């Protein structure tokens, strides 16, 4: 059971405060903020207590989402609730930020009112909630098709009809009904790689976690069919067809997904509810079907002047056509971070099939041979658009019956590095 819920900005401003059971002091929020800021480390513990009040908090979208409870609830219930709340706010307001929360307090208040009654969680299902929520979301910049026109500037494929800006999917679910039935569906295939490469260059561990996320703006949702690669297989024993099979170890589906066509045709059928949902999650360990996207060849030496020489050769093994990039930085740069004792090498864009190298010379006082052992490991972080590490593709996306009026379907693939480590 939950006593209060409040949302604070990272600076401690009150954005939302709701007291469900009454009787709490007014200073609760400031007590929490003091406690949270007093803690060191990158992430304070999730559960804290002050006398008889227990705080459970999460951080999402740069905000503190806090619930207090007096007794007897499982911390799981409350963190799960806060995560769901954040997801719902994101669905209803379009995005999670201090600004969007501030502008939509009435909506969020209404949401909270429906979700929690007297501290008891009633429902967090967006299908149920949409019957109750009346307030419309306010967005800072209403989404319009004009946004699409300047996509071509960014070097990506220039045909307007093929690419939508990434901001297209960040709009509130409810505004769709006033926009004259403009219905869109976004499907994201997101994969995160965890890779450890040993000092001898051998792959020690590779792990891919992926998910298919559907964000639906259809006012009245009909059935949707998502076709995956026909050679997609689950587990080790099953192999379908010849050649490069797309294989995952484990796979789990959202409950709304019907799998009657999955076995024969690899088709997921579902009636998506409005808002964002993860339709399928999968995991693949060790046996990656394709080569690793990046290889690093480090050489570390000591020169006569007692300087540490690090020669790095980085190769991108992706097929040449595709593009991998680290957004927002214009060019290559390198920087020494004395605090974390690390060198950061930034590469803005890295074409497939090419190679980059860099030489770093570091003045290190009292460099000994033993301290050479302390160098490393190298961590890579990157984003690969239009690529999935498992090779999972979406063959088609069909809506049935065909929607009246214009409907748009967008598919996006992206692979992130979760933790890509190369030991030296």
Partner 1 sequence: MLCTSMTQQVEQMSSVLRNEDLKEMLESNKESLKLEAMKRIVGLIAKGKSASELFPAVVKNVASKNIELKKLVYVYLVRYAEKQQDLALLSISTFQRALKDPNQFIRASALRVLSSIRVPIIVPIMMLAIKEAAADLSPYVRKTSAHAIQKLYSLDPDQKEQLIEVIEKLLKDKSTLVAGSVVMAFEEVCPDRIDLIHKNYRKLCNLLVDVEEWGQVVIISMLTRYARTQFTSPWTENKAFYDSDSEEKKDQTEAKPYIMDPDHRLLLRNTKPLLQSRNTAVVMAVAQLYWHLAPKHEVSIVTKSLVRLLRSHREVQYIVLQNIATMSIQRKGMFEPFIKSFYVRSTDATHIKTLKLEILTNLANEANISTILREFQTYVKSQDKAFAAATIQAIGRCATNISEVTDTCLNGLVLLLSNRDETVVAESIVVIKKLLQTQPTQHGDIIKHMAKLFDNVTVPMARASILWLMGEYCEKVPKIAPDVLRKMAKTFTAEEDIVKLQTVNLAAKLYLTNSKQTKLLTQYILNLGKYDQNYDIRDRTRFIRQLIVPNEKSGALSKYARRILLAPKPAPGLESAFKDRDRYQLGTLSHSLNLKATGYQELPDWPAVAPDQSVRNVEIVEPCPCVCTESGSESEEESSEDSEKTSSDSGKSSSGSEKSSSESESDQKKKKKTKKAPQKKSKPAGDRYTEIPHCLFPQNDSKKPTFRTSGISLFYMSFQVTTSSFGPLKTYELLHHMTGKGLSAKYHFPRQPCLYQPSMVAVQVILTNSSDHALEEIHIGDQSPASLNIHCFNTIERLEPGASVTVSMGIDFSDSTQAANFQLCTKEDQFSVSIQPAVGELLMASTMTEQDFCKEQGKLQGMNEASATITMATANASRQAINKQVLSVANVGEVPSSQNNFSRFAGQTVSSRALVLVSLELSESSGALLTINTEKSVMASMLLQDLKQALAQA
For residues 296-335, which are near partner 1 according to CB under 8 A?
A: none
Binding range to partner 1, per CB under 8 A, among 171-179, 221-229, 234-242, 385-393: 234-242
Contact between 97 and partner 1 per CB under 8 A: no
Q: How far apart are CA 8 and CA 14, in angstroms?
A: 5
Vertex 360: Cα angle to 357 and 361 (nearest 5)? 150
Count of residues of this chain found to bind partner 1 when the rule CB under 8 A is applied: 96
Closest approach of partner 1 to the CB of residue 225, in Å: 17
Q: How far apart are CA 373 and CA 300, in angstroms?
A: 10
Sign, CA torsion 329/332/334/340: positive
66, 15 contact by CB (below 8 A): no
Q: Which of 24, 31, 46, 309 binds partner 1 (CB under 8 A)?
A: 46
Closest approach of partner 1 to the CB of residue 421, in Å: 5
Sign, CA torsion 92/97/103/104: positive
C-beta closer to partner 1: residue 151 or 246: 246
Contact between 69 and partner 1 per CB under 8 A: yes
Contact between 125 and partner 1 per CB under 8 A: yes
Closest approach of partner 1 to the CB of residue 288, in Å: 16
Q: How far apart are CA 57 and CA 68, in angstroms?
A: 8
Residues 336-365 interacting with partner 1 (rule: CB under 8 A)? 340-342
Residues 169-228 interacting with partner 1 (rule: CB under 8 A)? 194, 205, 209
List, in sequence order, every residue forming a beta bridge with 207; answer none if it has no partner. Answer: 194, 285
Residues 272-291 interacting with partner 1 (rule: CB under 8 A)? 273, 277, 281, 283, 285
Q: Which of 54, 92, 217, 232 binds partner 1 (CB under 8 A)?
A: 54
C-beta closer to partner 1: residue 263 or 335: 263
Residues 404-423 interacting with partner 1 (rule: CB under 8 A)? 418-419, 421, 423
C-beta closer to partner 1: residue 161 or 340: 340
Residues 141-160 interacting with partner 1 (rule: CB under 8 A)? none
User: Burial, 85: exposed, middle or buried (Cβ in 10 Å; 0-12, 13-18, 19+)?
Assistant: buried
């Amino acid at each position: 059971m939950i006593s209060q819920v409040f949302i604070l900005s990272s600076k401690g401003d009150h954005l939302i405060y709701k007291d469900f059971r009454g009787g709490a002091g007014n200073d609760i929020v400031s007590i929490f903020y003091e406690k949270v800021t007093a803690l060191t480390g990158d992430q304070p513990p999730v559960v804290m207590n002050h006398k008889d009040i227990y705080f459970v908090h999460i951080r999402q979208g740069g905000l503190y989402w806090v619930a207090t409870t007096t007794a007897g609830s499982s911390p799981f219930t409350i963190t799960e609730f806060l995560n769901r709340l954040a997801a719902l706010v994101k669905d209803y307001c379009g995005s999670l930020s201090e600004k969007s929360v501030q502008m939509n307090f009435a909506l969020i208040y209404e949401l909270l009112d429906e979700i929690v009654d007297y501290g008891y969680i009633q429902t967090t299902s967006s299908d149920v909630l949409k019957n109750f929520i009346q307030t419309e979301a306010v967005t800072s910049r209403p989404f319009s098709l004009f946004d699409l026109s300047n996509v071509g500037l960014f070097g990506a494929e220039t045909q307007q009809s093929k690419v939508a800006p990434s901001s297209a999917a960040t709009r509130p679910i409810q505004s769709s009904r006033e926009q004259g039935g403009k219905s869109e569906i976004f499907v994201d295939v997101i994969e995160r790689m965890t890779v450890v490469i040993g000092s001898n260059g051998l792959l020690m561990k590779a792990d891919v976690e992926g998910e298919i996320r559907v964000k639906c703006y259809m006012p009245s949702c009909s059935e949707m069919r998502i076709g995956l690669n026909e050679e997609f297989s689950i587990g080790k024993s099953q192999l379908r067809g010849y050649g490069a099979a797309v294989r995952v170890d484990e796979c789990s589906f959202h409950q709304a997904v019907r799998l009657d066509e999955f076995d024969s045709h690899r088709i997921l059928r579902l009636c998506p509810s409005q808002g964002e949902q993860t339709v399928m999650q999968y995991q693949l360990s060790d046996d990656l079907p394709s080569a690793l996207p990046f290889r690093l060849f480090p050489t570390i030496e000591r020169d006569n002047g007692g300087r540490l020489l690090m020669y790095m050769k980085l190769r991108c093994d992706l097929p040449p056509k595709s593009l991998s990039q680290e957004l927002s930085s214009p060019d290559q740069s390198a920087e020494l971070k004395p605090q974390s004792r690390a060198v950061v090498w930034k590469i803005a864009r890295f074409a497939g099939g090419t190679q980059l190298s860099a030489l770093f010379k570091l003045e290190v006082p009292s460099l000994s041979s033993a301290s050479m052992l302390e160098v490393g490991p190298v961590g890579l972080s990157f984003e690969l658009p239009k690529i999935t590490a498992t090779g999972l593709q979406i063959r088609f996306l069909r809506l049935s019956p065909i929607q009246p009026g214009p409907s748009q379907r967008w598919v996006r693939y992206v692979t992130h590095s979760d933790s890509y480590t190369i030991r030296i």
